[in-house]
Amino acid sequence: MNWYGIIAIWRFEMARFFRSIIQSIVSPVVSTSLYFVVFGAAIGSRIPEVEGVSYGAFIVPGLIMLSVLQQAIQNAAFGIYFPKFIGTIFEVLSAPLSAFEIVIGYVGAAAVKALMIGLIILVTSFFFVDITIAYPFWMIAFLILTCVSFAMLGFILGIWAKSFEQLNLVPLLVVTPLVFLGGSFYSISMLPPVWQTISLFNPVLYLVSGFRWSFFGMADVPVVASLVAVFGFTALCMGIVWWIFRTGYRLKS
């Protein structure tokens, strides 16, 4: 293993994160606080408890997931797209690094950034609502797996994208709707039966549900289904990344 190479990529990516510290950390904190003010305090005060949990607390796992998914995808996608765009990718491709090592560097950095933001939002939420975490181990496990798998999705997106427009299109048109429709702000039991069934096809539902279970011990879908979904998604992304490097798709001519 070329550990120095992996660390070099990881450090370089983290440096980008800290260079734009306001955009990286302050903006998710501010936007999450606004969600708490609007949904938790203003609207939430008029919404009854959801299965024994106050609405303000109920949305915490969904809010964390919303930011973590967006950040993991954005950071990883930009991390690999930008070197492609400005041409510095040649250096990584000509370095003695295996595909696996390149992925660990880029995806690892994006996942750590997303994880940090997830934890910051969690800490922020303590200032707004009363929450206890029923299964801390599983909470962290779900968070890490989500960070890694969606950072990998972002990496794939960054390699696929040929323009900044394409780079922003998928998070905007696919991921955000899936998160909003994935039970981030409600339990799917609140939906009409038809929409409940449709929701079951949304992969994000399984993530949010499993994550919420680790907080409150309640879930829209069985926890095992959530775990299978997260592992399945991670495996699928790994498979695609493996194929990209094997074929050199949009990386090497």
Partner 1 sequence: MAAIVKVDNVRKTYEGGFEALKGVSLDIEEGEILALLGPNGAGKTTLISTICGITVPTSGAITVGEFDVENDYREARRLIGLVPQEINLEPFEHVQNTVRLSRGLFGKARNDAIVESVLRDLSLWDKRASKIVALSGGMKRRVLIAKALAHEPRVLFLDEPTAGVDVELRKDMWTLVERLREEGVTIILTTHYIEEAEAIADRIGVINNGEILLVEKKDALMARMGQKEMRIELAEPLDAIPEALSGYNLQRAENGCRLIYTYDTAAERTGITRLLNDLQASGLVLRDMQTSQSSLEDIFVGLVRESA
Dihedral angle computed from the Cα positions of residues 138, 140, 144 and 147, in that order, rounded to the nearest 10 degrees: 110
Provide the mask over 109-138, with x wherever binding to partner 1 is found by CB under 8 A and - wherever it is not. ------------------------------
Output 79 or 182, the one with its CB closest to partner 1.
Answer: 79
User: At closest approach, how far in Å is the CB of 211 from partner 1?
Assistant: 34
Amino acid type, 164: F
Q: Is 12 in the site for partner 1 (CB under 8 A)?
A: yes
Using CB under 8 A, pick the residue from 21, 22, 86, 224 that binds partner 1: 86
Q: Is 95 in the site for partner 1 (CB under 8 A)?
A: yes
CB 72 within 8 A of CB 154: yes
Using CB under 8 A, pick the residue from 22, 48, 91, 132 that binds partner 1: 91
Q: How far is it, in rounded angstroms, from Cα 76 to Cα 147?
A: 10
CB 215 within 8 A of CB 131: yes
Q: Which stretch binds partner 1 (CB under 8 A): 10-18, 28-36, 208-216, 230-238?
A: 10-18
User: At closest approach, how far in Å is the CB of 88 from partner 1?
Assistant: 5
User: At closest approach, how far in Å is the CB of 161 from partner 1?
Assistant: 18
Q: Which stretch binds partner 1 (CB under 8 A): 5-13, 43-51, 108-116, 117-125?
A: 5-13
CB 128 within 8 A of CB 36: yes
Using CB under 8 A, pick the residue from 52, 94, 127, 192 that binds partner 1: 94
Label residues 92-106 b or e (16+ Cβ within 10 Å = b). Answer: beeeebeeebbbbbb
Using CB under 8 A, pick the residue from 45, 88, 163, 189 that binds partner 1: 88
Residues 6+ apart with CB under 8 A from 154: 72, 73, 74, 75, 76, 77, 79, 110
In this structure, is the dihedral angle defined by the CA atoms of residues 176, 25, 13 and 143, taken in order, positive or negative?
negative
In which residue are the tokens 């370089």 written?
A: 12
Q: How far is it, in rounded angstroms, from Cα 133 to Cα 216?
A: 7
Q: Is 97 in the site for partner 1 (CB under 8 A)?
A: yes
> DSSP secondary-structure letter at 49?
P
Using CB under 8 A, pick the residue from 52, 96, 192, 193 that binds partner 1: 96
Q: Is 22 in the site for partner 1 (CB under 8 A)?
A: no
Q: Under the rule (CB under 8 A), what is the footprint of partner 1?
A: 2, 4-5, 7-9, 11-12, 15-16, 19, 82-83, 86-88, 90-98, 248, 252-253
